[in-house]
Amino acid sequence: MINKIAKAFENPNKKAFIAFITAGDPDADSTVKFILEMAKAGADLIEVGIPFSDPTAEGVVIQEANIRSLANGMTTDGAFDIVRRVRETCDIPICFMTYANPVYHYGYDRFFTKCEELGVDGIIVPDMPYEEKAEMEGPANAHNVSVISMIAPTSESRIQMIAKEANGFIYVVSSMGVTGVRSEIKTDIDSIVKSIKEVTDVPCAIGFGISKPEQAADMASKADGAIVGSAIVRIVAEHGKDSAPYLYDYVKSMKDAVANV
């Protein structure tokens, strides 16, 4: 199986749009439908959130999605099944986003064996920083899954250390704090990306706080792509099982915005 993350960033003239969705919110059937819809609308990579009881890096919107999803019975195996169903018709690059404990508890080798079988290309784990990633990265790489590195506004002297070992893509955290929609992003993204680009060709996507097409265009212009989570999860919170057309319109507007910068 070929790791497909590079595909999301392959067109140098069109920046990537990465969409996050919480698995099982409001149910597994809907998540499958929403992923396919967002792929159709032009998303270049989908982050599938495996819900966790205590998502300490998330703001209120995604916290509540995690709670809804778990209350509806979603599990790690359920998230794998969602990917299996998506893969029947769609080969869009997919990364899981979750916390260290669900993966650790499932067993690293067992988890990444399944990822490889189903064609999951990467994993984003906000509570697994550079210092701790080895225990997960070994088994992940053995199964051709990229552990995505995060770089934050406070990373400073750590930026190049992290970037040098990054693979798949680099998740540049735009703002302090947790995920969630923000009216303004104040971090000096340009200097972070410049520092990254000095040491690696791995593409950079910017996430946290982005909700509007203008913001996405602005962020994508500074890097290789933009990531949106809370704004998408908010659409699902509002429209539930009927979210598909709203997600299509939203993702299309965001992809159009980032593709033309």
Among 14, 84, 90, 130, binds another protein (CB under 8 A): 130
Among 93, 153, 225, 229, binds another protein (CB under 8 A): 153
> Among all chains, which residue has been given the structure tokens 């709670």?
67
Burial (CB count <10 Å: 0-12, 13-18, 19+), residue 2: exposed
Burial (CB count <10 Å: 0-12, 13-18, 19+), residue 168: buried
Work out whether 210 is an interface residue with another protein (CB under 8 A): no
Work out whether 169 is an interface residue with another protein (CB under 8 A): no
Q: How far is the CB of 75 from another protein (least distance, A)?
A: 5
Nearest CA-CA partner of 20 in 122, 165, 144: 122
Among 10, 156, 190, 242, binds another protein (CB under 8 A): 156
Among 10, 29, 54, 238, binds another protein (CB under 8 A): 54
Work out whether 154 is an interface residue with another protein (CB under 8 A): yes
Nearest CA-CA partner of 21 in 60, 61, 54: 61
Helix 230-239 × helix 28-40 angle, to 10°: 120
Q: How far apart are the first and last CA of the chain?
A: 32
Nearest CA-CA partner of 76 in 24, 141, 147: 24
Nearer to another protein, 106 or 250 (CB): 106
Work out whether 8 is an interface residue with another protein (CB under 8 A): no
Work out whether 100 is an interface residue with another protein (CB under 8 A): yes
The mark string for 63-82 relative to another protein (x by CB under 8 A, - otherwise) is x---x--x----xxx-----
Q: What are the residues binding another protein (CB under 8 A)?
A: 52-54, 56-57, 59, 63, 67, 70, 75-77, 99-106, 126-132, 150-158, 162, 173, 176-178
